[in-house]
Structure 1
């Protein structure tokens, strides 16, 4: 194998691949990236056995071939090469070495046979559809903060991606919860998605997927089966196993009878919560919300370090209410609001609170209160 490729193109391709590779693994080949050159294209494939990413890039291929080298080492070398450099990769199969040359710099990396590299088995997908990158980005970005990190509740360690019944028919929906807060985001149902099985997309996959969704003009080809999900652009294909578990019936925890309504400027609210939470070293410190007519007082009482209070003008016309929340949860939910105003719907100090963006029901959040 022998090829030449621009440094910027190579860096982008290798960056995506090396981020999938697990730093600690007992199988040496899993630390490597599989490089395959043919025609005028080179592809870089990496896997941790649960996720596989393939990144294709244009290159001047003098001799077709394939080999595997350390993904992290290759990435570090390319990252440190000068901008605009033309990088040549030459494989010496007899010496089991890959030579990397750019300008006056030269590196030789140990290789492992491409035959040892595990390629994720192809599968028949139950649904194949296309979605715009901004729509998928919104679904996953707005829900991922609520993914549970508790490994024992593995079925909550991802985003539940499924078809659901919305107010005006079927929608594409993303839901995440850790038992303390919940995010439910809806988007229009794309053509071809009607038969999509509901799947739980793992946390790591959600993180890797974000890199495919930066281009607002990109169309993402999505394929879903009971066991796998695949997202593809012309350059990058990300395939992932889904979590083998049953996502709980989240509709039971979304309150429907909350009648006390507060509307507040989302930016001002987030700043005030952040401000009063400063006096506490504990990130989970409760923030007390005291509501009276058109007035909200946010307060934190930390006996070891002091207390703080901030007042906001809000739209609220119901009876007085005092309720407490984890400051971190409030901040994370407030930061999701794209519109100017956030609407909170309360029931009582012990019942879950619902939050949405203005009158838009396509993104709703639920947060459990704390005792204060």
Structure 2
């Protein structure tokens, strides 16, 4: 194999694929990136951890087609440190990859292409397109609530399913860690009607979000009950899905919370942030005392002292005191884009519903804490 590629093109492609590769690998080939040069003038870069795979095609001048695999992180680090604007010559022979750029020369050991594992997709019967902006919205407004607890593995991703809301066909995305729930509802795309319920793993969500920053149009989504593929133009991301049953989250979305508090999300967020500075690392608890048009935020910490701040709000029900984990509350407020947020309260022990308004695509549920 022999090919020449611009350093910027190589670096961009490698930055996408190498992030899939785990730093510590017991299987040597999984530390490698597959480099496949074709006579059509392209180089295919591919990396996998056996659950997730990124396959990206970039332009190059190919003198001799061929394929090898080489350490993904080492090659990425080399490309990163090469001079800007340089042309990088890659040539493979005798189990080594020679890299030349200007006055720089190096050789890396390689492993044969035939040993490189590829995720077998099988049939992907459900196929539809989603605008990149919609996919970004789905991820950004839900992924903070994905659980990191490995024992409840079925919560370690974003749950996608279709349903009908008041006769409207919709696609819903939800994530929860048992303390908070985030859900986004978007119009159901054509082709998604018979889609199975799927859980997209956290790592796939993270890699997809990075790739979406470079996509303007639509993303092709193909899936079965066990695999999902995202076609992002130059890059294709394929992932296994989480094999588990997501809980019926609709049961925890309160429908009878009759105490409505309306706030400016920015002043509320800043107030919570300020008082929570002294909250203990363990609980991060902040207390909200809600009275007529006035919310008093307070934190008392045996180690760090106390803090109080009043924030204005619109509230006409009976006074209520309720506690929340301040980090969870800030995560939710961070997603509110408008200039008003609705907090629907019931009592100090019941789940609280937070949303911009009843037309907003996103809603959040937060479990209270004892304070």
TM range (shorter): over 0.9
Distance across 2 between alignment mates of 1:358 and 1:221? 31
Q: Which residue does the alignment assign to 1:330?
A: 329
For residues 116-135 of structure 1, the aligned pairs below 5 Å read 116-135=115-134
Q: Which residue does the alignment assign to 2:269?
A: 270
How far did residue 67 of structure 1 move?
0.3
Kept after mapping to 2: 8 A contact 1:342/1:358? yes
The secondary structure found in structure 1 opposite 2:321 is strand
Kept after mapping to 2: 8 A contact 1:339/1:358? no
1:9 aligns with 2:19: no
Q: Which residue does the alignment assign to 2:29?
A: 29
How many residues in Structure 1 have an aligned counterpart in Structure 2?
370
How far did residue 118 of structure 1 move?
0.4
The secondary structure found in structure 2 opposite 1:20 is coil
Q: In the superposition, relative to structure 1, how do residues 310 and 283 fare at CA in structure 2: closer, same or farther (>3 Å)?
A: farther
Kept after mapping to 2: 8 A contact 1:133/1:215? no
Kept after mapping to 2: 8 A contact 1:126/1:195? no
Distance across 2 between alignment mates of 1:216 and 1:335? 24
The secondary structure found in structure 2 opposite 1:111 is strand
The secondary structure found in structure 2 opposite 1:131 is strand
Q: Which residue does the alignment assign to 1:347?
A: 346
Kept after mapping to 1: 8 A contact 2:279/2:285? no
Distance across 2 between alignment mates of 1:4 and 1:268? 54
Q: Cα deviations across residues 185-236 of structure 1 (Å, max 9, x unaligned)?
A: 0111111111211110001000000122114622100001000011012200
For residues 31-110 of structure 1, the aligned pairs below 5 Å read 31-38=31-38, 39-92=40-93, 94=94, 96-110=95-109
The answer to which of 205-214 and 65-74 deviates more is 205-214
The secondary structure found in structure 2 opposite 1:98 is strand
How far did residue 167 of structure 1 move?
4.0
Q: Cα deviations across residues 73-100 of structure 1 (Å, max 9, x unaligned)?
A: 00000011111111111111x2x00011
Distance across 1 between alignment mates of 2:263 and 2:220? 38
How far did residue 361 of structure 1 move?
3.7
How far did residue 357 of structure 1 move?
1.4
Distance across 1 between alignment mates of 2:125 and 2:15? 31
Q: Which residue does the alignment assign to 2:365?
A: 366
1:242 aligns with 2:241: yes
Unaligned runs of 5+ in 1: none
RMSD (CA atoms):
1.1
Unaligned runs of 5+ in 2: none
The secondary structure found in structure 2 opposite 1:276 is helix
TM-score, normalization by structure 2: 0.98
Distance across 2 between alignment mates of 1:16 and 1:40? 20
Q: Cα deviations across residues 261-319 of structure 1 (Å, max 9, x unaligned)?
A: 01111111111111000112416321000111111111001021100011111011111
The secondary structure found in structure 2 opposite 1:360 is coil
How far did residue 360 of structure 1 move?
2.8
TM-score, normalization by structure 1: 0.97
Structure 1 residue ranges (4+ consecutive) displaced by more than 4 angstroms after TM superposition: none
Distance across 2 between alignment mates of 1:267 and 1:284? 23
The secondary structure found in structure 1 opposite 2:134 is helix
The secondary structure found in structure 2 opposite 1:67 is strand
Q: Cα deviations across residues 234-272 of structure 1 (Å, max 9, x unaligned)?
A: 200000000000000001100000011011111111111
Kept after mapping to 2: 8 A contact 1:126/1:197? no
